[in-house]
Structure formats: structure tokens, C-alpha cells
Amino acid sequence: MNLKAGNLDVAAFEIHQAIELALKAVHIHKFGSRPYTHNLVELGKAVGFDDPNLEFITFMYTYARYPEAPIEISKERLEVFINVAERAIKFAEQELEKEP
């Protein structure tokens, strides 16, 4: 919805949130606890999901709180983020089907 409306920074934040929740669900499933971080790189390492874009997507959490930061999100970059989110969600679905 935000992507279609041209709110690319909000869409990027929502993508961050989707990935964070998916990886935290896997963490809870595997370890029985929820980590207190928004860092997708740390979450990914903890549960076995890696993608070089996680570092930049993590920045979208901070950017949402401090929008004066000098950054521009392109639709092309957002498409990459969406792809990462889709893979993270698929990863989470597969992991959640496994016995803890």
C-alpha cells in the first residue's frame, strides 16, 4: 500500500518490521526466548538466515525514527528489500514447521 502511494520510506520500515517479526518468531521457536534487538543482521545470524541487504534494511528502523537522515529510497531498492522479506518469511515458515 505505501509502495503504491509513493511512501517509500514507510514501505521500507514496514519491510524491516516484517523481516524482524519473522526472524524473531524463528528465534522463539528454536530457543524459547525473544531477543531484544531490532538488528536484522544479529537476528539473522542467531537463526541461520543471511542476506547482505540485512544491514541496510536494519537502518530503515533507525531512519523511521529520525527521518532527517540524508537517504533516498528508490523503488528498485525497495524491490530488493521486498525480495529479502519474502525469503525471510519463507525461511521462517519452513523453520516453524520443524520440531524445536
The domain ranges of the chain are 2-97
Q: For residue range 35-68, what is the model confidence (pLDDT) as tens digits?
A: 999 999 999 999 999 999 999 999 888 877 776 7
Q: Looking at residue 58, what is its pLDDT? A: 93
Judge whether 66 and 90 are in contact, CB under 8 Å: no
Mark residue 48 as left, alpha or beta (left: phi above 0; alpha: psi -120 to 50; beta: remaining): left
**Which option is the CATH number for 2-97: 1.20.1380, 3.30.60, 1.10.12, 1.20.120?**
1.20.120
Question: Read out DSSP for 26-62?
Answer: HHHHHHSS------HHHHHHHHT---TTHHHHHHHHH
pLDDT at 78: 93
pLDDT computed for residue 44 by the predictor: 98
Report the 10 Å Cβ neighbour count for 16.
25
